[in-house]
Structure 1
């Protein structure tokens, strides 16, 4: 799943490639991908892309005052092309869900495709007049890399596991399954620790880990085009997706807990005092 660093890099890439271009047409290959009906998607044709921003894990393209907002969900992706063919999309066109054709006035159309792998469909596009009209954006918690962000008020009185808290977009915006694993490993903290029970030293350690892990990931992701970001993200993971491999810090074997629709990875020595965590696949954790 693309998380804050990858989405931020995608937005920067779109800012460089797409801003100043005119929307020639938006084609749909999936009816379900578009979650809004007003303004109609056809109203974007002929308008100029004037900006690109990120809200949590949402991509927001400002199109002359209208907004095309994209949430890539678990398996969605954005694929840029410097030369789009003339062939039209057909409904049910495999993993291809939407195509945004852009005219830069100096040759064939450029633009991007939105794709989604697998059978679980979560990719979402919103055509709105204000990004706050998107429910997921309106409900976002604070951005952890924003100036003035403090973790302690976010954790206060929250009787929830810290792994779940980090992934809750209404609490902290932009962090998903992969980077929450990495942050907790850097903070040397169990994913099942209760947020409200953390002492001041633990809160500081977690806040530093959030800043360091996300800051490093942002620096690594920026400057890379969409096609490079997935592999770049995988190569940087220390525990996430590394089950059975050696922890790069202590050498212990990275373990995992499997749930009904996801999993987490951690180092027993670094994070849980050498104790394995119980598999809670039947619980409601992370749902």
Structure 2
């Protein structure tokens, strides 16, 4: 799933390639992906792109005051093409959900792999009209997201586990399953530690890890072509998706906890004092 660093890199890429260009046409292939009906996709046709913004994991393209907003969900992606096919695409069972073609025949495709169709597209007058954007928590890249702001978030979260707090878009916008694993590993914190149980040192480690892990991932990603971002993300991850591989800090094999539809990875030595966390499919967390 694209998370804040990849979405920020896509925002930068689209800003470079879209701003000043005119949208010639759009082709909707997966009709279930369009979530709004007040404005048609054709409202974008003939409009010049003024800016591209990011809201958490959402991207928003401003075309003359009409906004094309989309969320790539778990299996979605954006593919840029310098020359789009002249013949319109045909709806079918393929991954193509939406095609946006510019006046110079370049453009991008929104695609989604797998059988679950969760990629979402909106056409609105204001990005704030998108329900998922209106409920977003603060952006961790914002200047106002400081140590004090994080302290307030953790206090409000109470006994909620850190992993869930970091992933909740209503609490902090943009962090998902992968970067929450990376942040907690860098901060040397258990994914299941209660949010309001951090010492002053642990709090500071968590704050720095949020800023540093996201900042470093963005630095690796921004400036790359859209097609390179998936590979760059995977290469840059030190814990997530690396079950059984040695921790690059202490050498302990990375462990995993599996859930019904996801999993997390952590280092038992660095994060849980050598104690393994129980697989939630089988039993409760070992205390």
* Residue in structure 1 matching 2:141, options 139, 145, 156: 145
Q: CA RMSD in A?
A: 1.4
Q: Deviations over 1:12-47 (max 9, x none)?
A: 000000111111111011110110011111111111
> Counterpart of 1:32 in 2: which secondary structure?
helix
Q: Does 1:112 align with 2:117?
A: no
> Counterpart of 2:257 in 1: which secondary structure?
strand
Q: Deviations over 1:126-181 (max 9, x none)?
A: 00000000000000000111102131011113121100000000000000000000
Distance change >3 Å, CA 262–CA 284, structure 1 → 2: farther
Native 8 Å contact 1:259 1:282 kept in 2: no
TM-score (norm 2): 0.95
TM alignment of 1:241-252, pairs within 5 A: 241-252=241-252
Q: Does 1:123 align with 2:119?
A: yes
Distance change >3 Å, CA 88–CA 282, structure 1 → 2: farther
> Counterpart of 1:264 in 2: which secondary structure?
strand
Structure 2 portions without partners, runs of 5+: none
> Counterpart of 1:24 in 2: which secondary structure?
strand
Distance 2:273 2:2 in 1: 31
Deviation of 1:284 (Å): 11
> Counterpart of 1:20 in 2: which secondary structure?
coil
Q: Deviations over 1:35-69 (max 9, x none)?
A: 00111111111111110010101001001001000
Q: Does 1:66 align with 2:66?
A: yes
Q: Does 1:156 align with 2:152?
A: no
TM alignment of 1:194-233, pairs within 5 A: 194-233=194-233
Native 8 Å contact 2:278 2:284 kept in 1: no
The number of residues matched between the two structures is: 281
Distance 2:127 2:156 in 1: 30
Distance change >3 Å, CA 100–CA 93, structure 1 → 2: farther
Q: Which runs of 4+ in 1 moved over 4 A?
A: 282-285
Distance change >3 Å, CA 28–CA 282, structure 1 → 2: farther
TM-score (norm 1): 0.95
Q: Does 1:94 align with 2:90?
A: no
